[in-house]
Amino acid sequence: MSQLWYQLKKSPLAIIGIAILALWLFAAIFGPSLIPFTYTEIDSQQIMVNPGVKGHLLGTDNMGRDIFARIVYGSRSIFTVALLTSMLSTLMGVILGFIAGYFGGKIDTVFLRAMDIMMAIPPLVLSMVVLGILGDSNIISLTLIVSIAFVPATARVSRGVLLTEKNKEYVSAARIRGESNLYIMFVEILPNTTGPIIVEATARFAYSIMTVASLGFLGVGLQPPTPDWGMMVIENKPIISQAPWAVLFPALAIASLVIAISIISDFVGKVLVNER
């Protein structure tokens, strides 16, 4: 813990990242009860008003909906999806990567080839196609498909760290006292690989925000009326010359959150490396 403070003092960038994330988390949890508008409320008197007019902090779009409210409500869905995705993809990746790396041989070869095939299709394209076929997407289907698209990356990282740990003598020691493979994998090895896996999970968190936003932008993300940052950008694209704020602020929201989480991910990596 004191190590964390020490590292934090040395990296002001990480403080900024954590501050931004904290702000967004606050907005997602308490925001909706603090702002006067909801995300569907149409103010027909105030269409495309400038930021700051009549309580519309960030202006309104072409239907008179409050941009600020939509961004705050949108943060809820994006946090839910991104958090679930990073956890689910890490979980699946660890299980698959550990099994492949631990047993090696044919299992490993099959695993690697399968991952290669999946990696050949970009996560975005894969999710797009599947979501397109499924039609209406909701939080659950979105989470599932993005998680699966991310599995090759997390599985490869898990397999890599397992391989370095597998050759250590404590694994041999466990083997010659007759431990089961599952015990060795998850009780002996897993606790020693948490560092790189946590770093990968936080990186996946940032990536899934990007992916979800992109899917929203492409129209296969969460469906209206649920506010989605990516969708807001594309929805308001036609009015970009009259009301640039309607595009600018959702885009800024995406960028700030992704950058903040990337910074935190780097920082977590550094702290965990120094702890070793």
Partner 1 sequence: MKDNLLEINNLNVDFKTFDGTFSAVRNVSLTLGNNDSIGIIGESGCGKSTMAFATMKYLAKNAKSSGSILFKDKDLLSMSEREMEQYRGNRIAMVFQNPYSSLNPSLTIGYQLDEVSIFHKKLDRTEARKASIEALQMMNISEPQRVVRRYPHQISGGIQQRICIAMAILCSPDLMILDEPTTALDVTTEAVILDSLKELREKLNMSLIYISHDMGVINKVADRIVVMYNGEIVEHGPKEQLFDHPSHPYTRALINCMPRGGVVKEETMLNTINGYVKRRGNQDVGCPFADRCEKRNATCENTYGMRVVGQSHMAACDRAYATDITDTKHLLKEKPVVEQQVFEDRPLLEIDNLHKIYGSRRKVYAVNGIAVSVAKSSVLGVVGESGCGKSTAAHMVAGLYKPSKGSILFDGSDISIAWNKRSPDMLKRIQLIFQNPGNSLNPSHTIEQIIGRPMKRLMHIHSAEERRKKILEMLKKVDLGSDYIKKKPRQLSGGEQQRVAIARALSISPDLVVCDEPTSALDVSVQASVLNLLNDLQQETNSTYLFISHDLNVINYISDYIMVMYAGKICEYGKRDEIMAPPFHPYTEALLSSIPETDPKKQKKPIRLGGQLPDPGKKPKGCPFAGRCHRQVGDICYKEFPPMVRLSGSHYIYCHHNFSEK
Q: Minimum distance from CB of 171 to partner 1 (Å)?
A: 9
Asked if 172 is part of the footprint of partner 1 (rule: CB under 8 A), the reply reads yes
- Give how far the C-alpha of residue 135 lies from the chain's centroid of Cα atoms, to the nearest Å: 22
Nearer to partner 1, 6 or 30 (CB): 6
Between 82 and 201, name the residue whose CB sits nearer to partner 1: 201
Per-residue x/- track, 23-62, partner 1 (CB under 8 A): ----------------------------------------
Q: Binding string to partner 1 for residues 178 to 217, with x set by CB under 8 A, is what?
A: xx--------x--xx-------------------------
Cβ closest to partner 1, residue 8 vs residue 124 = 8
175 binds partner 1 (CB under 8 A): yes
Which residues, including other chains, have CB under 8 Å from residue 137's CB and lie 6 or more apart?
131, 145, 215, 220, 221, 222, 223
When asked if residue 14 is in the footprint of partner 1 (CB under 8 A), the reply is no
CB of 167 to partner 1, least distance (A): 9
Instruction: Return contacts of 19-22, CB within 8 angstroms, 24+ apart.
Output: 20/256, 20/257, 20/259, 20/260, 21/257, 21/260, 21/261, 21/264
Ramachandran sector of residue 55 (left: φ over 0; alpha: ψ -120 to 50; beta: rest): left
d(CA 97, CA 93): 6
From first CA to last CA, the distance across the chain in angstroms is: 14
Rounded to a whole number of angstroms, the minimum distance from the CB of residue 189 to partner 1 is 9
Closest CB to partner 1 among 47 and 174? 174
- Residues contacting partner 1: total by CB under 8 A: 17
Contact call for residues 184 and 170 (beta carbons, < 8 A): no
Grouping H, G, I as helix, E, B as strand and the rest as coil, residue 55 is: coil
CB of 40 or CB of 192, closer to partner 1: 192
Pairwise CA distance, residues 225 & 265, whole Å: 32
Smaller CB distance to partner 1: residue 34 or 176?
176
The stretch near partner 1 (CB under 8 A) out of 1-9, 145-153, 200-208, 258-266 is: 1-9
DSSP-derived secondary structure letter, 186: I
Among 170, 182, 237, 242, binds partner 1 (CB under 8 A): 170
Would you say 195 or 219 has its CB closer to partner 1? 195
Quick check: 177 binds partner 1 (CB under 8 A)?
Answer: yes
β-bridge partners, 66: 60
Question: Structure tokens of 130?
Answer: 């599947």
Residues facing residue 126 across a β-bridge: none
Task: List contacts with partner 1 (CB under 8 A).
Answer: 2-3, 6, 168-170, 172-179, 188, 191-192
